[in-house]
């Protein structure tokens, strides 16, 4: 089954404790991206990647890191989480490199930073 898989789905952590949210897709998609969803703000792009070893900042990259060592994986790293990073996070992938195609989303990861 074609899918984007995120883990963990739910996480409560404390300020400053590094964490990684993994994202993996099995559709051989070139483009992958991370979004955060906050009430009243909709979805905002954090980082995206058009291909292996190519990543770029979205609208709200501060406090996050990503890497794209393999085509299928695009982990989101919070080196020192803070409460303002409490949010619902979505990973997505798309065929092609431009990000202008249909996005396939993961189920979301709800992160709470205390």
- Residues of this chain that interact with another protein (CB under 8 A) are 33, 35, 40-45, 48, 50, 56, 58-59, 88, 90, 92, 98-105, 107-108
Side-chain half-sphere exposure of 60, counting CA atoms within 13 A:
16
**Which residue is listed with tokens 């980082």?**
47
Residue 33 to residue 47: CA distance in whole angstroms: 6
Residue 113 to residue 111: CA distance in whole angstroms: 7
Per the DSSP assignment, residues forming a β-bridge with 62 are none
Q: At its nearest, how many Å lie between another protein and the CB of residue 69?
A: 20
| Residue whose CB is less far from another protein, 19 or 43 | 43
Q: At its nearest, how many Å lie between another protein and the CB of residue 58?
A: 4
| Residue whose CB is less far from another protein, 76 or 92 | 92
* Gyration radius from the chain CA atoms: 13
Q: At its nearest, how many Å lie between another protein and the CB of residue 16?
A: 28
| Residue whose CB is less far from another protein, 1 or 102 | 102
């Amino acid at each position: 089954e074609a899918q984007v898989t995120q883990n963990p789905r739910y996480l409560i952590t404390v300020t400053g404790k590094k964490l990684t949210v993994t994202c993996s897709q099995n559709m051989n998609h070139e483009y992958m991206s991370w979004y955060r969803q906050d009430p009243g703000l909709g979805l905002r792009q954090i980082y995206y990647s058009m291909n292996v070893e190519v990543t770029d900042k979205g609208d709200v990259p501060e406090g996050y890191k990503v890497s794209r060592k393999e085509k299928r994986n695009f982990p989101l790293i919070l080196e020192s989480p803070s409460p303002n990073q409490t949010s619902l996070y979505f990973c997505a992938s798309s065929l092609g490199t431009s990000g202008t195609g249909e996005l396939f989303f993961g189920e979301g990861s709800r992160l709470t930073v205390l």
